[in-house]
Amino acid sequence: MASLKELKGRIASVKSTQKITKAKQMVAAAKLRRAQEAAEAARPYAERLAAVIANLSAATGADGSGPKLLSGTGASDTHLVLVMTAERGLCGGFNANTVKRARQHIDELRAEGKTVKVITIGKKGREQLGREYGDLFIDHVDLSDVKQNDFTEAALGLGHELTRLYEEGAFDVASLVYSRFKSVLSQVPSVQQVIPATPPEDAEVIDLQGAIYSYEPSEEEILETLLPRYINTQLLSAMLESAAGEQAASMTAMDNATRNAGDLIDSLSLQYNRARQAQITKELIEIISGAEAL
C-alpha cells in the first residue's frame, strides 16, 4: 500500500493535470465557436457553386467533350489520395478515425490494382501513415503556421499544385479524406472526389422546363474558369470542416480528461484518508498498550 507521502504527491500531481485539461477545454471551446461559424459560413457558397457546376456540366452533355478537370483523362489507373488531419494531438480519436478511413480507402484502391500516391495535410496523418505508406508519399502540406480559420492561402496553394500535377499527367483521380463536422459530438470521416470535379449527388439542379439557354461565353469556357475555383472551394471548405471537428474533439476529450482526473482525485483522497485513519488508529493502540503495560 502506498505511503501517505506518495498518495499526497499523486493527488497534487493529478490536480495539476486537471487544471491543465480544464484550461485546454476552455480554449478549445472558444476556438470551436469561431471555427464552427467559419465552417457554416462557407457551406452556402460551396453548395451554390456546386449547383452551378452541376447545371453547366449537364448543359454540356455527357459526350465527354467538356474540360479535362470535369471529363477526366479517360482512365483511372493512378489515384492521388489527400489525407487531411490535425497538426496537434490531444483531440481524442479525431486523427485516428480519419487515418483509419484513409487506410481503408488506400487498401481498397490497391486491391483493385490501382497505383496510389499520397499527399498528407497535417502532421498527425503523416506520422501515423508514414510507417505503412511512406513510400507512397509525394508531398506534405504544413498547416502549423496557418492562423485560425485562415486557410485561404493554403487551399489556393494546394489547389494550384493539384491542377498542375493533373495537367502533367501525374494522376487520373484525386480524392480527399477528411473529417466532416456534423456536431460537437460527431465528426464523420469522409472520402470526397476532388478531380475530376464531381458535384455532390444532392446538388441542386435547376429544371429548365424545356427552355433553351444560350451562354456567352460558352458553357465550356465558363467551366474552364469555374472548375479550378470549385476545386479550391472544396479544399477550403474541407479545411474549415476539419478545423471545427478538431476543436470539437479536443473540447470533448479535455472535458472527459477533466472528469476522469476528478474521479481519480476522489479515489486517491479516499485512500489517503483511510491510510491516515489507519495510521492514527495504530498510534493510539500503541499509546494505550504502552500505558496499560505500565
Cα separation, 12 vs 8, in Å, equals: 6
- 285, three cell numbers: 493502540
Give kind and range of the element (H or E) at residue 194.
strand 186-195
How do residues 60-81 score in pLDDT, each as one tens digit? 655 556 677 777 777 788 899 9
**Considering its fold, how many domains does the chain have in total?**
1
d(C-alpha 27, C-alpha 251), whole Å: 8
Query: Would you say residue 94 lies in a domain?
Result: yes
Domain-embedded: residue 69: yes
Q: Is 236 exposed, middle or buried (0-12, 13-18, 19+ CB in 10 A)?
A: buried
Answer whether residue 274 is part of any domain: no
165: domain CATH number? 3.40.1380.10
Q: Is residue 182's pLDDT more than 80?
A: yes
Gyration radius of the chain over CA positions: 28
Whether residue 7 is contained in a domain is answered as no
Contacts of 2 (CB under 8 A, 6+ apart): 10, 271, 275
Domain membership flag for residue 5: no
Chain position carrying cell 506520422: 127
| Separation of alpha carbons 249 and 95, rounded Å | 10
pTM of the model: 0.80
Q: What is the pLDDT of residue 201?
A: 62
181 occurs within a structural domain: yes
Which residues are catalytically annotated?
91
Which residue range is the domain that position 169 belongs to? 22-253
Residue 171 domain flag: yes
Residues 96-133: pLDDT tens digits? 889 899 999 998 988 888 888 888 888 888 888 888 88
Is it the case that residue 59 has pLDDT exceeding 80? no
Does 293 reside within a domain? no
DSSP alpha helix (H) spans, the chain: 4-60, 68-71, 94-111, 123-133, 152-167, 219-293
CB–CB of 141/83 below 8 Å? no
User: How far apart (Å, rounded) are the C-alpha atoms in residues 246 and 86?
Assistant: 7
d(CA 136, CA 262): 44
Other Cβ atoms less than 10 A from the Cβ of 259: the count is 12
State pLDDT tens for residues 207-259.
555 555 565 666 677 777 778 888 888 888 888 888 888 888 888 889 888 98
